[in-house]
């Protein structure tokens, strides 16, 4: 028991030093203890909230919730949080236009038409500029293989709800297909889409509509990473 306590204290100490060393990362600076995975949470609701705004629980997110899982506490949570902090910093440095958030045990990256991965009006093909951004992201995904990746598509409210649902599906699948064609295993990927149903911004303004035309990429630890962290923490 004493050895276990000493080991956990050592993990917490090392994680604290590591966190200090990357404190320049905006995503990490904005993360609180819960977001870094240092305490126990019952659900992945915070990550869902970052993806779909204030509409968590209004349907359509069951599959995502299952993939995200719950926050992980104790020493294992600290170890996972440290790995995610480092990965978030890399994304922020290599893709400066993206919005990078550290939430619970994961990372949420938001791309809109101004931040690297975007689509021409009524189109869903991955254009050259978006390929450049995705290629940088793919390099990071390959460096951290023990993670699962969620790709979620959204649109603004222009056009019919049915059309927008199909458009967001096609755009999300286009990103997923590009990832798999570039060597990211399909078993790591979950794809979902919400059309116009989950706006984070006001569709009554051009600025709000532009931000609602977005693709989210969420990165969460897989079972292997969680189990290894628990073993290292003696939990």
Mean pLDDT of 124-139: 91
The region of weakest confidence among 34-48, 107-121, 133-147 is 34-48
Q: Identify which of 156, 153, 155, 154 has the alpha carbon closest to the alpha carbon of residue 203.
A: 156
User: Which domains does the chain show, CATH number per domain?
Assistant: 2-233 (3.30.1330.60)
Please give the share of the chain, as a percent, with pLDDT higher than 90: 46
Write the DSSP assignment of 144-212 as a string of letters: --SEEEEEEE---SSS-HHHHHHHHHHHHHHHHHHHHHTT--GGGEEEEE-TTSS-SS-TTSHHHHHHH
Q: Is the pTM of this model over 0.85?
A: no
What is the average per-residue pLDDT within 72-94? Answer: 92
Nearest partner of 12 among 102, 105, 82, judged by Cα? 82
Residue 111: what pLDDT? 85
pLDDT band, residue 166 (cuts 50/70/90): very high
């Amino acid at each position: 028991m004493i050895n276990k306590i000493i080991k956990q204290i050592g993990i917490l100490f090392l994680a604290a030093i590591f966190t200090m060393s990357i404190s320049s990362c905006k995503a990490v600076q904005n993360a609180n203890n819960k977001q870094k995975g240092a305490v126990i949470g019952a659900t992945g609701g915070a990550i869902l909230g970052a993806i779909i705004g204030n509409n968590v629980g209004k349907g359509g997110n069951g599959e995502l919730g299952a993939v995200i899982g719950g926050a992980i506490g104790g020493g294992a949570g600290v170890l996972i949080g440290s790995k995610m902090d480092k990965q978030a910093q890399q994304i922020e440095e290599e893709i400066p236009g993206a919005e990078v958030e550290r939430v619970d045990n994961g990372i949420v990256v938001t791309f809109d038409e101004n931040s690297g991965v975007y689509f021409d009006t009524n189109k869903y093909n991955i254009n050259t500029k978006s390929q450049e951004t995705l290629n940088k992201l793919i390099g990071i995904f390959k460096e951290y293989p023990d993670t699962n990746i969620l790709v979620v598509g959204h649109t603004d409210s222009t056009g019919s709800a049915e059309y927008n649902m199909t458009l967001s599906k096609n755009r999300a699948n286009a990103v997923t297909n590009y990832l798999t064609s570039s060597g990211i295993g399909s078993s790591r990927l979950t794809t979902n889409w919400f059309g116009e149903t989950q706006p984070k911004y006001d569709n009554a303004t051009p600025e709000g509509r532009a931000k609602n035309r977005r693709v989210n990429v969420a990165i969460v630890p897989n079972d292997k990473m969680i189990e290894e962290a628990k073993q290292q923490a003696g939990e």
